[in-house]
Amino acid sequence: MSDLNPPQLGRALQVGDVAPDFELPSQTGNTVKLSDFKDQWIVVYFYPADDTPGCTKEACSFRDNYEDFTDAGAAVIGISKDSVDSHQKFAAKYELPFTLLSDNGAKVAKAWGVGKSLGILPGRVTYVISPQGVVRKKFSSQLQATKHTAEALDTIRAGA
């Protein structure tokens, strides 16, 4: 019997689930699929909006630890509903070395079960996905934006 669980419609993605593929435009205008990163660790973090205080802290925390992620063989992807143009400006302003994806209409966020935080804000949820495509860590905290980086890095280093 397999320890891999397919995601179920109407349910938030959980540890042990296979991460569903997606296809979204990046800040460079290129189309990115989750499946482009098969066979490596990947951190997918959903955040409310570009250039807001908490989201900037979170993005800069991933930036400041980016070399640790790449040294561990992991890719980092940030996803929000903001436009490609907004992502371009945000990435340039803060020198973000990783991919930002535009989830227009929050379709991927909904498919992954990322709901609203505090009843009004788009969710801030980080997923760590194994090289086999399985969610190994899920961390959700609207108020502890920089803790997402530490949780993700610890999971990858532990080889969850």
Q: Domain 23-158 maps to which CATH number in 2.150.10.10, 3.30.420.10, 3.40.30.10, 3.40.640.10?
A: 3.40.30.10
> At residue 133, does pLDDT exceed 60?
yes
User: What per-residue confidence (pLDDT) applies to 145?
Assistant: 60
CA 43/CA 53 separation, integer angstroms: 21
Domain locations in the chain as residue ranges: 23-158
CA 138/CA 13 separation, integer angstroms: 8
Query: What is the value of pTM for the model shown?
Result: 0.89
Instruction: Work out the pLDDT band at 146, boundaries 50, 70, 90.
Output: low
The residue behind tokens 């959700």 is: 140
Task: Give, as one character, the DSSP assignment of residue 82.
Answer: S
Average confidence (pLDDT) over 115-139: 84
Residues with a known catalytic role: 55
- Residue 63, token pair as written in the block: 């930036």
Q: Are 60 and 92 in contact (CB under 8 A)?
A: no
| pLDDT tens digits for range 87-113 | 999 999 999 999 999 999 999 999 998
Closest CA to 135 of 30, 45, 26, 52: 45
